A and B are shown apart, each in its own frame.
Chain A
């Protein structure tokens, strides 16, 4: 935590909707009463499947004055376990970072810091079962954020509902809330 500001990084692949996730998280936190937030996508020559970064910083009581990348994340959302094989991504994980990983199997912690806190949720399965899909694959942002809300308490399902309705419209609300709730209820801590 830098200067009382909570910093979250998102590691994902192009098409996994992590940039939108970083923006929605900023909105959820702001609605919950955080006084300042910023969502920072790192824009380069992205294409589907390529590793991408995004960051969100949220602050309870003071303005956020920085635009720089998060290098000591308090939380890290990893949308795809294969990203843990990429040294640049693995090296950005600190001992104090709390991980939320989208995974359907046990997490290989060999190369992670000792005693790191890890949560996992099978967001891919949740999306496939509810048919929440894009041509690029499952729309992982809402279930990942549902799980993240559960483990942090930074916002709740009611706030998610209001903003999803505002951003995506009434029609898309039921399916998105279904996956949010499923992830909220099924996220669990992994023993490392």
Chain B
């Protein structure tokens, strides 16, 4: 692939939308194949990339337009098996339409990175921030990360390629961020020097492709064929779980190396703590609400409350070990979900996982499952301060709030007759 005409990115700060930051990250990662189908609020990610490709800024990159999200994922699967670095983006209903191929991508062990500008699941029709879409893809074998800032979108995409393409991992990954709240607001984002990004990321795969999965006439291999129950199906599934759990260490290493090269830190990669060490009361929270919760914590600390938070950066693999350590630090721990897992123990996906993580550990910390911002309903800092004060009251009285719905506090919910 010719690099003759290429525009080489120098380090600069641009005020850009979250979606544009995602597009710049794909460009910085020198992705070789992009497949695109528009859906709100993701659309401007692939629009920006089409501008880059059309404008000659990504020479050699193939941009494929298809007729549906199902075909988007099918085409990046094909491109990835052939041994290229691939990228696409989707949201909500688009991700649901992709679902069959999502399983296929993980089952084939392909390092595809896909961003999700998350939106609520329809019906009723909803295009605003809600992580129910990426949560719906929970059990597919993909890794998934939540971003809280515009910069984190850019950075997390780079870190994701590093982890996904590790030859001991070779699994796909979602990078999710709140629709409109991050996708369409503009903030300063540092775009990194191309040389440093090249130094950080693994080299692009050569014509031989990935070591374990490839299309090569000289080394014929069958993909995805029928395996009898007595064959290796069970073992393939076990290996996905084994790899996902082991990928936690890879994520930690990739995050540390990122910090070394670019100077921006994201906790241990799986979780990021904020004022937790001396806190009596804490909250686990993810996505854009986590940045805003920092402001609520700052304000409450100024008022003298010993409160803290832990930002959940990865949902899959779930950082069980870190969650146990976080729970040990406080007397009361809230777990805030912006997304639904209907019929699960709490109704919230992360709060259910937190409770499962603490089982049999002997930890007596009181846990309050919480829910806010569903379908993009606005959550402001004042509301977040009240959420923390609810936890403080729980600590003081030793009692749960009396307005729980099946054990979970649905904050900011209207009265339904």
Residues of A at under 8 Å CB distance from B?
3, 23, 26-27, 30, 36-41, 43, 64-69, 71
Contacts and interface: CB of A to CB of B under 8 A. Distances in A.
B292 A65 contact: yes
Given A65-B294, A69-B378, A39 B186 contact: yes
Contact of A38 (B41, B186, B294, B299): B186
Interface stretch (B85-93, B177-185, B344-352): B177-185
A144 to B, nearest CB: 18
Interface of B: 15, 41, 127, 180-182, 184-188, 288, 291-292, 294-295, 298-299, 378-381
9 contacts: A23-B15, A37-B187, A65-B294, A66-B295, A66-B381, A67-B288, A68-B378, A68-B380, A68-B381
Main secondary structure of the interface of B (DSSP, over half): mixed
B380 A69 contact: yes
Contact of A67 (B41, B188, B292): B292
B239 to A, nearest CB: 40
B287 to A, nearest CB: 10
A168 to B, nearest CB: 15
B15 A65 contact: no
A27 B295 contact: no
Nearest to A29: B15
Contact of B15 (A27, A41, A43): A27
A36 B381 contact: no
Nearest to B381: A66
A38 B295 contact: no
A38 B185 contact: yes
A43 B19 CA distance: 15
A68 B289 CA distance: 10
Contact of B186 (A26, A65, A66, A71): A26
Contact of B188 (A3, A30, A43): A30
Contacts of B381: 66, 68
A23 B186 CA distance: 7
Given A27-B15, A65-B291, A66-B295, A39 B185 contact: yes
A114 B26 CA distance: 53
Nearest to A34: B188
A94 to B, nearest CB: 16
Nearest to A27: B15
A1 B400 CA distance: 36
A75 B41 CA distance: 29
Contacts of B181: 67
Contacts of A66: 291-292, 295, 380-381
Contacts of B186: 23, 26, 37-39
A69 B41 CA distance: 19
A30 B294 CA distance: 23
Contacts of B294: 65
A94 B127 CA distance: 31
A71 B181 CA distance: 17
A43 B181 CA distance: 10
Nearest to B41: A43
A65 B295 contact: yes
A43 B186 CA distance: 13
Contacts of A67: 181-182, 185, 288, 291-292
A114 to B, nearest CB: 27
A71 B381 CA distance: 12
A71 B382 CA distance: 11
A43 B18 CA distance: 15
A26 B15 contact: yes
- Central interface residue in B186, B295, B299, by most chain A CB within 10 Å: B186
Nearest to B40: A43
Q: Top 8 nearest A-B pairs by Cβ distance?
A: A68-B380, A65-B295, A39-B186, A40-B185, A67-B181, A38-B187, A27-B15, A65-B294
- Central interface residue in B41, B182, B378, by most chain A CB within 10 Å: B378
B41 to A, nearest CB: 8
Contacts of A27: 15
A68 B127 CA distance: 17
Contacts of A65: 291-292, 294-295, 298
B184 A43 contact: yes
- Central interface residue in B15, B184, B294, B298, by most chain A CB within 10 Å: B15
Contacts of A3: 295, 299
Given A66-B381, A68-B378, A36 B292 contact: no
Given A26-B15, A41-B184, A41-B185, 10 more contacts: A3-B299, A26-B186, A27-B15, A36-B187, A37-B15, A43-B41, A66-B292, A66-B380, A67-B185, A67-B291
A30 B15 contact: yes
A66 B299 CA distance: 12
A41 B179 CA distance: 12
Contacts of B188: 30, 36-37
B126 to A, nearest CB: 11
A38 B161 CA distance: 28
A68 B15 contact: no
A68 B379 contact: yes
A176 B221 CA distance: 61
Contacts of A26: 15, 186-187
